Amino acid sequence: MSVLYDSEPEDLIDFLVHNGNGVKGLSQLNLKQIPSQFIQPPDQRHSHIQVSTQKSIPTIDVSQWADTNTAQSICEAATTWGFFQIVNHGIPPEVMENVKRASHDFFGLPVEERRKYLKENSPTQSVMLKTSFSPLAEKVLEWKDYLVHLVGTEIDGADFALWPSVTRGPVSEYINRVKPIIRKLLETLLNGINVTQIDEAKESALMGTLLTTLLHYPKCPNPELAAGAGPHSDISSLTILLQDDVGGLYVRLSGTTDEWAHVTPVDGSLVVNIGDVLEIMSNGRYKSVEHRVFVDGRRDRVSVPVFVNPSANAVIGPLPEVMEDGEKPMYRRLVYSDYFGYFFSKGHDGKRTIDFARV
């Protein structure tokens, strides 16, 4: 099939989504120009945004979790930046390299193998192959594909056997290594807002599910026109991101109209960002922050975010502990699945999703 610059939208969606070719399939056609459906409006292109050369997100050494300075640095970063990198977290380098390689390996498979994991084909509901963000709802497509691995508090053995062979071992090992870090981060952040214990209800509302996603951004013939992800905040409680050395992640600076900081990859680090759920549950003390991804014209980029999400039926809202002094809630209580559904009913649109939860 020839996918032309001016192809009909339904033909392109068939190629990308229904036939499972994804953006990877487009990149293999050696196009000279990306299809028009991927071209960002001028004000959303890299050349339009202001990039700070002076500011970058904090990097925090977490080798001493019990140190009060570590806890203070984490809570300050969550309050002022909404983003930070952690180093000396204890995950072996080979575990991180293996899961990044798994992304390259999966998206290097023939399309006949990849499409086995489309939602309608996948042998398990815990693994799904997707492209762009929400391609049937968004106005402009995003230049990426991704493979989602969904787990609850534990990896289900029967589901695990149905995961792709090239991702099964590396992803499960990475999940097992990152879970203790997730709990330590949440305990630290909750302590910072006077919540001393994560009981069963809080655990369900904060970390009931983990979405470990292998993101693949193929090299792009027109990177100056495209985006890997439009501006958005995550709908997680936390997101833990492992990125490669290509770069391309940008974070909106607090208090600015359109100034952004590039999150320069730090070898061995993990990028942590606050999601909407933790902003809601902290009644605005911790900030979920807009971020975006631009793509590269020379190299494929991979990253591995773990989206730490509530269980689908969990109720989220400001925690009682942060409302003890008669503070008025900024957000209402709502079922997480409703929030999740609203997020994916449209394209990325900055911080507007959280307005769905405002009082």
40/42 Cα distance (integer angstroms): 6
Q: Is 327 helix (H, G, I), strand (E, B) or coil?
A: coil
pLDDT at 65 over 70: yes
pLDDT of residue 143: 98
Q: Please, are residues 274 and 286 in contact by the beta-carbon 8 Å criterion?
A: yes
Element housing 251 (H / E): strand 249-252
**Could you give the dihedral angle defined by the CA atoms of residues 334, 339, 345 and 346, in that order, rounded to the nearest 10 degrees?**
110
pLDDT of residue 10: 82
Range 267-296 average pLDDT? 96
pLDDT at 296 over 90: yes
Give residue 15's Cα distance to chain centre.
25
Closest CA to 215 of 229, 226, 232: 229
Sheet containing 229-232: which strands, arranged edge to edge? Answer: 50-51, 259-262, 249-252, 291-293, 229-232
Q: What is the CA radius of gyration of the chain?
A: 20
Whole-model pTM over 0.75: yes
Q: Please, are residues 137 and 346 in contact by the beta-carbon 8 Å criterion?
A: yes
86/88 Cα distance (integer angstroms): 7
pLDDT at 1 over 50: no
The full set of domains in the chain, from first to last, is 9-357 (2.60.120.330)
Quick one: tokens of 92? Answer: 């072996």
Question: Which one of 10-24, 74-88, 123-137, 253-267 scores highest in mean pLDDT?
Answer: 74-88
Answer with the residue of higher pLDDT: 19 or 256: 19
pLDDT at 329 over 90: yes
pLDDT of residue 270: 98
pLDDT band at 255 (very low <50, low <70, confident <90, very high): low
Q: What percent of the chain has pLDDT over 90?
A: 78
pLDDT at 344 over 80: yes
pLDDT at 19 over 50: yes
pLDDT band at 8 (very low <50, low <70, confident <90, very high): low
Range 87-116 average pLDDT? 97
pLDDT digits (tens, 9 = 90+) for 161-189: 999 999 999 999 999 999 999 999 999 99
pLDDT of residue 30: 87
298/77 Cα distance (integer angstroms): 33
148/169 Cα distance (integer angstroms): 15
Range 303-327 average pLDDT? 92
Answer with the residue of higher pLDDT: 22 or 48: 22
Closest CA to 273 of 59, 67, 81, 128: 81
Range 40-64 average pLDDT? 91
pLDDT digits (tens, 9 = 90+) for 198-230: 888 888 889 899 999 999 999 999 999 999 999
With vertex at residue 162, the alpha carbon angle to CA 161 and CA 167, rounded to the nearest 5 degrees, is: 85
Closest CA to 128 of 99, 155, 162: 162
Beta bridge partners of 51: 260
